[in-house]
Amino acid sequence: MTACPSRQVFDVVVLGGGIAGAALAAQLAGDLRVALVERESQLGYHTTGRSAAMYIPSYGGPAVQPLTAASRGFFESPPWGFAGRLLSPRPVLHVARADQLQRLEDFAHQNRDTAALRRLSGESARLRTPILRPEAVRSALLETGAGDLDVARLHGGMVRRAREAGATVLADAGKPAIVREGSRWRVRTRQASLIAPTLVNATGAWADETALDAGLAPKGLAPLLRTAILVDAPRELGFHDGPVVKDIDERFYFRPFGGRLLITPADETPSPPCDAAPDELDIACAMMRFHDAADHPVTRIHHRWAGLRTFASDRAPVIGWSETSPGFFWLAGLGGFGIQTAPAVARLAAAQVLGHRTPRDLADHGVEAATYDPSRLSEAAHPIGSPAPCQEPWVTADGPPGLPGY
Ligand SMILES: Cc1cc2nc3c(=O)[nH]c(=O)nc-3n(C[C@H](O)[C@H](O)[C@H](O)COP(=O)(O)OP(=O)(O)OC[C@H]3O[C@@H](n4cnc5c(N)ncnc54)[C@H](O)[C@@H]3O)c2cc1C
């Protein structure tokens, strides 16, 4: 006989234990009764555990940059016993071939007020990253305010803080059944039946599916698959302290990572939500683009993985109350910037859940809640296109990717 799940009453149930859900739970737990519910047995198993761990102020355009800037203070001196800085400096070298010089100009112009950019000749760029081929870098911009984030410590610290402040954290919850009962939501997991007036959808690539489960229309959020490989790094002295090298059109980037070299073709293949797996063609594409840009033999791939970066049609995050379903809160569409914006995103979301104004320091950085309002998106505006090869959802037999740094 199956045991009856216990019933528990909360102020807020947060669905999704990636960085978005964990950071919001950490933010709210001191003020409200919070349950953080993760479908998988391991929190952070999906996109959060598969990132490249970068903090890049210029990244993501005008909707994302204020959130990134407003998160820097948290990373540099984190509260809640994170035990030290979460951000260590590493510049980004934005490189352009001769035929991309106009693009480099445009990038410098667009980011003149938001990022610290220094122009370098191709020769100077190659002094910083000697494996770059001369024809791959005619000119470059060095972005100095960028850095590496300690994602494991960030995410683990958010979950710990949530627990310590009184949140209930339920992992391995299975796919919850969601039912609207009067003015409250009932979320039935494997372990318990949870009741709360507020339901937060922080389910990453599954955000549209979760909305449908709760009886709402989807927002057309598109999960796009990105591939990464880890190979042997060049042996030259100083390589591991060197910059991230990023093509100005984001057709690839490579970077020192956990004692090896991380390469990505910066692919964006439409995918259904699933346990994303790398595709051989994307790996071949990564190697080809890397070899076009750099003179360094790749003899062995030590690790390969893929993750789903989920975007709204305008590529801005989706943060705010549903306009159609009271008590349903969107915290999704965090694309390729969900780690570097997590502290500010969580504070903006927490302020709205608590019925407060946007915190003053976020507003001072240019964060405007209206930019992220879910009502800006017409329903299902974003066709998902042809699915990439993926494992079936929830087939996790190979376990998590086990990345260095996570
Ligand atoms: C290769 C790669 C490189 C990246 N590099 C960077 C970078 O350098 N810097 C950066 O800032 N960002 C980067 N990103 C993006 C970043 O990782 C994401 O923006 C971020 O992790 C999204 O977090 P999330 O919590 O929204 O999603 P997720 O981490 O995917 O969390 C969502 C969670 O919801 C759970 N879930 C789904 N459905 C349900 C349900 N019904 N009930 C309960 N739980 C559910 C899932 O199991 C999952 O754990 C990168 C991403 C990839 C793939």
Task: Check which CATH number belongs to the domain holding 236 and give it.
Answer: 3.30.9.10
Tell me the average pLDDT across 276-295: 97
Tell me the average pLDDT across 48-58: 98
- The helix (run of H) or strand (run of E) holding residue 122 is helix 122-128
Instruction: Let me know whether 306 and 235 are in one domain.
Output: yes
Between 9 and 83, the more confident residue is 9
CATH code (residue 318): 3.50.50.60
Tell me the average pLDDT across 276-281: 96
CA distances to 87, 91, 147, 242, 282 from 265, rounded to whole Å, are: 25, 20, 20, 20, 7
Please identify, among 269, 284, 311, the residue that sits at the C-terminal boundary of a domain. 311
For residue 303, is it within any domain? yes
Ligand 1 atom nearest to 228, measured from its CA: 1
For residue 78, is it within any domain? no
Confidence class of residue 389 from pLDDT cuts 50, 70 and 90? very low
68 lines ligand 1 (CB under 6 A): no
Min mean pLDDT across 95-99, 119-123, 211-215, 388-392 is at: 388-392
Which candidate, 305, 223, 295, 293, places its Cα nearest to that of 262? 305
DSSP-derived secondary structure for 13-39: EEE--SHHHHHHHHHHTTTS-EEEE-S
Instruction: Let me know whether 141 and 230 are in one domain.
Output: yes
Instruction: Let me know whether 304 and 318 are in one domain.
Output: no
pLDDT of 393 over the 70 cut: no
For residue 404, is it within any domain? no
Instruction: Let me know whether 306 and 354 are in one domain.
Output: no
Instruction: Let me know whether 268 and 362 are in one domain.
Output: no
| Terminal C-alpha separation, the chain | 39
Please identify, among 311, 337, 363, the residue that sits at the C-terminal boundary of a domain. 311
pTM: 0.94
Ligand 1 atom nearest to 22, measured from its CA: 25
225 lines ligand 1 (CB under 6 A): no
pLDDT of residue 396: 32
How far does the centroid of ligand 1 lie from the alpha carbon of residue 369, in Å? Answer: 21
Instruction: Let me know whether 226 and 240 are in one domain.
Output: yes
Q: Which residues contact 348 (CB under 8 A, 6 or more apart)?
A: 67, 319, 358, 359, 362, 367, 369, 372
3-state helix, strand, coil in the chain (%, to 5): 30, 25, 45
Instruction: Let me know whether 188 and 235 are in one domain.
Output: no
Instruction: Let me know whether 235 and 133 are in one domain.
Output: yes
Ligand 1 atom nearest to 55, measured from its CA: 9
Q: How many domains does the chain have?
A: 2
pLDDT tens-digit series, residues 220-265: 999 999 999 999 999 988 899 999 999 999 999 999 999 999 999 9
For residue 382, is it within any domain? no
Q: Which two tokens stand for residue 200?
A: 């937060």
pLDDT of residue 378: 77
Confidence class of residue 399 from pLDDT cuts 50, 70 and 90? very low
DSSP character at residue 294: B
Q: Which two tokens stand for residue 21?
A: 């859900």
pLDDT of residue 380: 56
For residue 69, is it within any domain? no
Provide the residue range defining the domain that includes 347.
Answer: 6-53+151-220+313-376
pLDDT of residue 329: 98
337 lines ligand 1 (CB under 6 A): yes
Instruction: Let me know whether 112 and 198 are in one domain.
Output: no
For residue 188, is it within any domain? yes
Instruction: Let me know whether 168 and 114 are in one domain.
Output: no
Instruction: Let me know whether 306 and 237 are in one domain.
Output: yes
pLDDT of residue 81: 84
Q: To the nearest whole number, what is the mean pLDDT of the chain?
A: 93
Instruction: Let me know whether 180 and 212 are in one domain.
Output: yes
340 lines ligand 1 (CB under 6 A): yes
Please identify, among 311, 326, 358, the residue that sits at the C-terminal boundary of a domain. 311
Min mean pLDDT across 24-28, 302-306, 394-398 is at: 394-398
Place of tokens 């880890």: 230
